[in-house]
Amino acid sequence: MMKKNKVKKFLEKNWFKVILLILITVGILSFVIGQYFYSRKQRAEILLLEQQSQKQKNKALLDDCLEDVYNDYLANWNKSCEELKRENFCALSGTISNPMNEIHQKAKDECHKKYPQE
């Protein structure tokens, strides 16, 4: 009974301080919890940006690889035309063009294996 009176008197004198302390505590907890969820969201956004950046790099590397393969294909094609004393981009017989086309396709496939896209 004596404790209840002491508590009651304390609260009558200090009710404002107690409410202020509760509000400050709730504010601090809200801030900490908010920072936790905000930082999780930021980490998720950073991870997403890194993944997108890697996809863009992979796409650029694939494009470069395919361009190199195509340029080699054209150079070999035109070299064959030159050996036959014809103009560049000439029509070649299947015995010459088929192996070239197969090599070209295999090289393109290697580019796609090396730099896969989703």
pLDDT in tens, 9-19: 887 888 888 88
Helices (H), the chain: 2-83, 94-114
Does some domain include residue 9?
Answer: no
Whether pLDDT at 42 is above 80: yes
> Residue 45: pLDDT band by 50, 70, 90 thresholds?
confident
Which of the 8 DSSP states describes residue 84? T
Does some domain include residue 46?
Answer: yes
Q: Of 56, 66, 71, give the one whose Cα is nearest residue 112.
A: 66
Q: How many folded domains does the chain comprise?
A: 1
Does some domain include residue 4?
Answer: no
Does some domain include residue 6?
Answer: no
Does some domain include residue 44?
Answer: yes
- So what's the pLDDT on residue 67? 97
CB-count exposure of residue 65 (10 Å: 0-12, 13-18, 19+):
middle
Whether pLDDT at 1 is above 70: no
Torsion, CA 29, CA 32, CA 38, CA 40, rounded to 10: -110
Whether pLDDT at 2 is above 80: no
Does some domain include residue 25?
Answer: yes
